[in-house]
Amino acid sequence: MATSQVEGLTPEQLAFFNENGYLLIPDALSQDTVKQLLKDTDSMLDNFSLDDHPMTKFSTGGDDGKDHVGDAYFLESGDKVRYFFEEDAFDTSGKLTKPKNRAINKIGHYLHELSPSFRSISLSDRNAAIARSLGFQDPRVLQSMVICKQPEIGGAVPPHQDSTFLYTDPPTAVGYWYALEDATAENGCLSFAAGSQRRAPIRKRFVRTGKKGEEGTGFIDNEGPQFPQSHPGSNGDTKEEDEVYTMGEVKAGTLVLIHGNILHKSEKNVSGKSRFIYTFHVIDGAEKYDERNWLQPPTQGFSKLYS
């Protein structure tokens, strides 16, 4: 069998990730690649149509059961390129207060197959090698998105763990997060409760609710395993509010790896600068992907991250 020339993580990087639950890898993308990805993002934002758009906002707050068209637009986006608005992009009468390219919070969730430039940075030999060094047996890519965090109205992302959203039994999710612009304290960079992936169980899950044709989303208690097999974790006696968050300020081109159990968040962007990033997740196809997860596999299965 041919072995790949591309290296995964160094032992030092792996040790940092295991200890802290995240890892910053500067210059993972060249500045030319970053420019191309931003250009493609701008063209998606300029060209999507408002005429047939249900004006769905992005929120993982669960579902009030009132917006089935918006829910369907979200729930069917796993193999499409769709556009979700910033919560604060509308006035009280529901009219957009910004031009559409400055009103979108995120574009998702199948850029890793449908956009050639995003596909090529996602399903790469380098990312396959990283996944292999993290211990994945059958790494699969899902839930890709550009998060814009627009100037002045960029929404906050409250503290969460990614395995809440993409649950496997046991948990295996890891986020790959690329800064396409400098992410700073000013424009709402990520921050991490370092080491919390070793203490914080996956206590809840974000799932599809309701019967066919009337589906929404909501949270349920997790009754399955709470930690990956490789990190058995604590007895679950953790207090989210006691966590201390470390800022992850990064330059454009940096790749950030995010453990599925680590608590992380980002603040609102009230600055004049956008904070465009691209992210996708990897789960291990060797473990059971939960059929209640909001995102279900396309007919051809989740994309293989193999070299």
The residues binding Fe ion (CB under 5 A) are 162
Tokens describing residue 90: 């509308």
Note the Cα 251 to chain centre separation in Å.
18
Query: With contact defined as beta carbons under 8 Å apart, do 201 and 235 qualify?
Result: no
Q: Could you say whether residue 263 binds ligand AKG (CB under 6 A)?
A: no
Nearer to ligand AKG, 81 or 146 (CB): 146
Nearer to Fe ion, 71 or 162 (CB): 162
Q: Could you say whether residue 258 binds ligand AKG (CB under 6 A)?
A: yes
Query: With contact defined as beta carbons under 8 Å apart, do 282 and 136 qualify?
Result: yes
Nearer to Fe ion, 62 or 99 (CB): 62
Distance CA 178, CA 17 (A): 16
Applying the rule CB under 6 A, the residues between 183 and 202 that interact with ligand AKG are 190
63 interacts with, out of Fe ion, ligand AKG, none, CB within 5 to 8 A per kind: none
- Beta pairing partners, 218: 207
Q: List CB contacts of 62: < 8 A, sequence separation 6 or more.
A: 206, 217, 218, 219
Nearer to Fe ion, 128 or 147 (CB): 147
111 interacts with, out of ligand AKG, Fe ion, none, CB within 5 to 8 A per kind: none
Q: Give the x/- contact pattern for ligand AKG in 119-158, rule: CB under 6 A.
A: ----------------------------x---------x-
C-alpha radius of gyration, the chain, whole number: 18
Query: With contact defined as beta carbons under 8 Å apart, do 37 and 117 qualify?
Result: yes
| One residue of 63, 86, 162, 243 binding ligand AKG per CB under 6 A | 162
First to last CA, the chain: 12
- At its nearest, how many Å lie between ligand AKG and the CB of residue 175? 4
Q: Could you say whether residue 285 binds ligand AKG (CB under 6 A)?
A: no
Query: What's the burial of 204, exposed, middle or buried (CB within 10 Å: 0-12/13-18/19+)?
Result: middle
Q: What are the counts of helices (DSSP H) followed by strands (DSSP E) for the chain?
A: 6, 16
Nearer to ligand AKG, 109 or 132 (CB): 109
Q: Could you say whether residue 29 binds ligand AKG (CB under 6 A)?
A: no
- At its nearest, how many Å lie between ligand AKG and the CB of residue 155? 9
Q: Could you say whether residue 274 binds ligand AKG (CB under 6 A)?
A: no
| 190-192, strands of its sheet edge to edge | 157-160, 264-266, 190-192, 246-248
Distance CA 118, CA 253 (A): 13
Q: Could you say whether residue 81 binds ligand AKG (CB under 6 A)?
A: no
**Segment near ligand AKG (CB under 6 A); pick from 193-201, 202-210, 237-245, 258-266:** 258-266
148 interacts with, out of Fe ion, ligand AKG, none, CB within 5 to 8 A per kind: none
Distance CA 64, CA 199 (A): 31
| One residue of 252, 277, 283, 295 binding ligand AKG per CB under 6 A | 277
Report the residue number whose CB is nearest to ligand AKG.
Answer: 266
Is residue 240 classed as helix, strand or coil in its secondary structure? helix
- At its nearest, how many Å lie between ligand AKG and the CB of residue 173? 9
Amino acid at 158: P
Give the footprint of ligand AKG on this chain (CB under 6 A): 147, 157, 162, 175, 177, 190, 258, 264, 266, 277, 279
